Structure 1
Amino acid sequence: MKDATYPFLKTPFYKHLEKDGNWSSVELCFGLLGIEPPVFEDDRGPEEFADSACFATDEDLIEAFQSSEKSIGRAEVMVGVLLDAAMELANIINTYKSEELKKCREELERSDLSEPERRREALETSAQLARLQDELDKNVRRTFKTWTVKLL
């Protein structure tokens, strides 16, 4: 289903970007990552830029972007894909940290705690590890303005 705003969008998105001062903030974010920011120099849609290796057939590529038109559709797809990538990377980081904390807890459990001072330190470390894991078990939320409108 195509975005419900498309029939009302008269100025091509790439033209809008030419005068939108906020685009430099997007470019800065990519630059901070060492990634070349996307360039919108014409009204081509996302299918023109997608890596064909991501699709088994040309039909799959066309189907993937059938509801996204022109440069605005490309920008909309970018938002979704960047969010997917950020979520996946966050999960990978979270798993890594949780596994490392688990190793620390297991190491504490195997350690010699016969000395009172070592036992006290181990209990403090164990409590700290538990607090850290509790934080890692939480979800975070960031809110965005809606960038696609799909009405039935």
Structure 2
Amino acid sequence: MALTPAEKQKAYRKRQKDARKKAPDQSTAFIKLPFHEYVARHGLGMEENLDAAGIHISGSLEDAVQVFETEADWDSFDTPGIDIKTSLGRATIMVGSLLDAATELAGVINDFKLAEVDTAIENAFTASAGLRRDDVEGLKASYAEIDRLKAIQTQLRKQVRRMIPATQVKGE
């Protein structure tokens, strides 16, 4: 069956996106100063921030050659134009990994809170159903609580966006 114009456009955009992902990072071609020297001069507060959350990173971005404690096959790591064994390569991979980890953790927290709010709403409806119909103040308070919980639920269902600086330039 022939593709519709919308399907053709979607396939075209997917091909473009895939090509951009596979393209090397154009922002590294002119770099002269090694990244580990830059980090050593300017300092990096990331370790303190992560340590406050109980997250410890082995090694340092101030080291010229990165050594990993894991047994992963870093040579097969699909990162066009990025040498994972350099401090810049490791830092670039860390950004993506930390973003993925934060997204997953935020999803788990969000699912948990939404489930708890759903339970609280059900309990509020059950409590409201048990009230006498002539208890106007009790019913008002019960409905106000249900509305408050639904507002919390609505806020939790929203997506949030954090802006971070670009670390790679792919394509023109």
Q: Please indicate, yes or no, whether the TM-score normalized by the shorter chain is above 0.5.
A: yes
RMSD: 2.1
**1:50 shift after superposition:** 6.7
Q: Determine which structure has more spread, i.e. the larger CA radius of gyration.
A: 2
Name the structure 1 match of 2:163.
Answer: 143
Tell me the secondary structure at the aligned position of residue 163 of structure 2: coil
Following the alignment from structure 1 to structure 2, what is the Cα–Cα distance between the partners of residues 104 and 66?
Answer: 46
2: CA distance, partners of 1:4 / 1:20? 24
Query: Residue in 2 aligned with 1:49?
Result: 68
Tell me how far 1:65 sits from its aligned partner: 4.3
Structure-1 residue corresponding to 2:29: 7
Q: Which runs of 5+ in 1 are unaligned?
A: none
Deviation at 1:64, TM superposition (A): 2.0
TM-score after normalising by structure 2: 0.73
Moved over 4 A (4+): none
| In 2: Cα distance, 1:72 partner to 1:50 partner | 18
Deviation at 1:7, TM superposition (A): 2.5
Normalising by structure 1, report the TM-score: 0.81
Superposed CA offset, 1:1-59 (max 9, x none): 432122211221111111014x1x212211221223451243335xx52733xx6xx4x
Contact kept, 8 Å, 2:131 with 2:138, in 1: the verdict is yes
Deviations 1:79-115 (A, max 9, x none): 1110111111111111111000000111122221224
What letter corresponds to residue 73 of structure 1 in structure 2? G
Q: Please give the alpha-carbon distance, in whole angstroms, between the structure 2 residues aligned to 1:145 and 1:132.
A: 31
1:89 to 99, 102, 105: 105
- Measure how far apart 1:118 and its partner are: 2.9
User: How many residue pairs get matched?
Assistant: 142
Q: Does 1:98 align with 2:111?
A: no
